[in-house]
Amino acid sequence: MAATPNLIAMVDEMNRVTYTSASLAALAHIENYEMTAGRPIIDLFPDINMKLVIGEIVEAEGFYESTEEFFLNGERRYFKIISDRFRGNIGGRFIDISDITPIMTARLDAEEANSAKSIFLARMSHEIRTPMNAIIGMSELILREQTSPAIHEHAAAVKQAGNNLMAIINDILDFSKIESGKMEIIPVEYEFASLINDVIRIRQVLLNLLSNAAKYTNQGSIIFTVESARNETGSITLKFEITDTGIGIRREDMDKLFGDFSQVDTHAHHGVEGTGLGLAIARSLCRSAGGDITVKSVYGEGSTFTAVIPQGITKEGPFASVADSETKNVLIYERRDIYANSLVRSINNLGVRCRLALTGEELVKALGEDRFDFIFAASCLFDEVQDQIRKERIDTTLGACGTLVNFCMNMQKIHKRNRTRSVRGS
Ligand code: ADP
């Protein structure tokens, strides 16, 4: 009653006011709206046409409804009027439905100002990037050419600060591009194998989610999986899932995460830098491509961010295959079990048998029991395996786990040429 702009009144059987809204009291020039009680309702309305309508309402047996035009303080205003009688008392309201043009104009002005702000931000960020590149590039040159440890240290600090600032500027640039509607998503063909490297928008989303996972996880693991599901139309939806064992997110903070410049639980960040724009940008990018990002988290235990993006298919076929896969046998020697298991799954997906050794004893046992075409070992365990195969005179091809994907794709070639006996790569 105190706040509504509508003119509301309750009257008794004698048509005397029992209660009005503050806006009606103001119309009758009564300062305190609680002081209207006891007055004849007709007295409160200054306008003769309004008084006529009140007369009609009072005469009416029950429900009354109409739309009227009045001139109040020289202004044309429209009201929808509804009232009803209950045990002799009348409750009625005049709802102002006047022209909303001024409100709409004000809103459009505000939107225009917001868009001008975004364009300004975009231009500024762009202008700042050029000299920033020079600063970073020049400090890089100093780092290469200078031998003095003190100058080296200072130049490294300049470069680091420059890179941090660049990351912030890039975020603002992207954000303002999205806000001002200048971010375009263009459909192009790409090879699935290079998805994460070459498809800039997808890479940006994943880099953001992965670097957040790394930033907010002090201990444990980060698991990144890619899956796809076929849609009814023949296209596919890619599902990227990033699960960390980090600080987690409070339930009440979940809705805020994707807001602009929004950081939550900052005291738990321990000096981690950020603008709070990353997730807002990542979600906008996904949504403009017809997808979305969602999150699940247990505070103190970790979070799972899931990005889904629909993609069309132009040509179909496996992007990695192994000739005579069923005849091949692979051994993985890797001590981190989550990583090791994901490698085993990758090899199995190619239709190749795979045995896992998590310890030195398991390695020796496996080599004694089985014959392996390929052995993949963690870089730090590489020498151990090499010594073992030399000692036992085992004929196999040894590679580092990090090169496994390339191996899978090139297995056939390597096998045919039969030349690389030991490859160590990154
Ligand atoms: P920032 O630049 O601060 O990382 P983001 O928009 O990427 O900005 O993330 C917003 C906030 O969401 C972060 O400040 C952090 O509080 C929270 N957050 C994002 N990812 C995670 C995560 N994996 N674990 C815990 N908190 C996260």
Q: How do the pLDDT tens digits run along the chain, 426 residues long?
A: 777 878 888 888 888 998 898 888 988 888 888 888 899 998 988 888 889 998 888 888 788 888 888 887 777 788 888 888 877 787 887 777 766 667 667 888 888 888 888 778 878 887 888 889 899 999 999 999 888 889 999 999 999 999 988 888 888 888 877 777 777 788 888 888 778 777 778 888 998 999 999 999 999 999 999 898 998 888 899 999 999 999 999 998 988 888 877 777 777 766 666 678 889 889 988 998 899 999 999 999 999 999 999 999 988 877 677 888 899 999 999 999 888 998 898 889 889 999 999 999 999 999 999 999 999 999 889 899 999 889 888 889 888 887 775 655 554 444 444 333 333 332
- Report the distance separating Cα 168 and Cα 276, nearest Å: 10
Nearest CA to ligand 1 atom 19: 212
Q: Candidates 166, 204, 216: which one to mutate for ligand 1, based on the most atoms within 8 Å of Cβ?
A: 216
> Which atom of ligand 1 sits closest to the CA of residue 262?
10
Measured in Å, residue 306 CA sits from the centre of ligand 1 at 14
Q: Candidates 174, 251, 263: which one to mutate for ligand 1, based on the most atoms within 8 Å of Cβ?
A: 263
Measured in Å, residue 321 CA sits from the centre of ligand 1 at 38
Measured in Å, residue 190 CA sits from the centre of ligand 1 at 30
Nearest Cα to Cα of residue 208 among 158, 258, 270: 258
CB distance 228 to 239 below 8 Å: yes
Per-residue pLDDT tens digits for 220-236: 999 999 898 998 888 89
Q: Candidates 205, 243, 279: which one to mutate for ligand 1, based on the most atoms within 8 Å of Cβ?
A: 279
Measured in Å, residue 212 CA sits from the centre of ligand 1 at 6
Measured in Å, residue 119 CA sits from the centre of ligand 1 at 26
Q: How far is CA 138 from CA 12, 147, 149, 164, 169, in A?
A: 85, 15, 17, 16, 19
> Which atom of ligand 1 sits closest to the CA of residue 263?
14
Q: Residue 417 has what pLDDT?
A: 41
- Other CB atoms within a 10 A radius of the CB of residue 151 amount to 13
Q: Residue 3 has what pLDDT?
A: 78
- Report the distance separating Cα 249 and Cα 294, nearest Å: 13
Q: Candidates 207, 257, 262: which one to mutate for ligand 1, based on the most atoms within 8 Å of Cβ?
A: 257
Nearest CA to ligand 1 atom 11: 263
Measured in Å, residue 290 CA sits from the centre of ligand 1 at 23
- Report the distance separating Cα 333 and Cα 313, nearest Å: 36
Nearest CA to ligand 1 atom 18: 212
Nearest Cα to Cα of residue 128 among 176, 169, 189, 72: 169
Burial 33-55 (b: 16+ CB within 10 A, else e): beebeebebbebbeeeebeebbe
Structure-token pair, residue 66: 């109409």
Nearest Cα to Cα of residue 268 among 294, 295, 250: 250
Measured in Å, residue 241 CA sits from the centre of ligand 1 at 16
> Which atom of ligand 1 sits closest to the CA of residue 280?
6
Nearest Cα to Cα of residue 335 among 358, 361, 312, 311: 358
Q: What is the CA radius of gyration of the chain?
A: 36
Secondary structure element (H or E) that encloses residue 90, with its range: strand 89-96
> Which atom of ligand 1 sits closest to the CA of residue 265?
16
Nearest CA to ligand 1 atom 21: 212
Measured in Å, residue 263 CA sits from the centre of ligand 1 at 6
Nearest CA to ligand 1 atom 4: 274
Measured in Å, residue 158 CA sits from the centre of ligand 1 at 26
Per DSSP bridges, beta strands 353-357 and 329-333 are parallel
Strands (E) across 300-408 are located at 302-311, 329-333, 353-357, 374-377, 397-400
Q: Residue 278 has what pLDDT?
A: 87
Q: Residues lining ligand 1, CB < 6 A?
A: 208, 212-213, 216, 244, 246-249, 257, 262-265, 274-280, 303
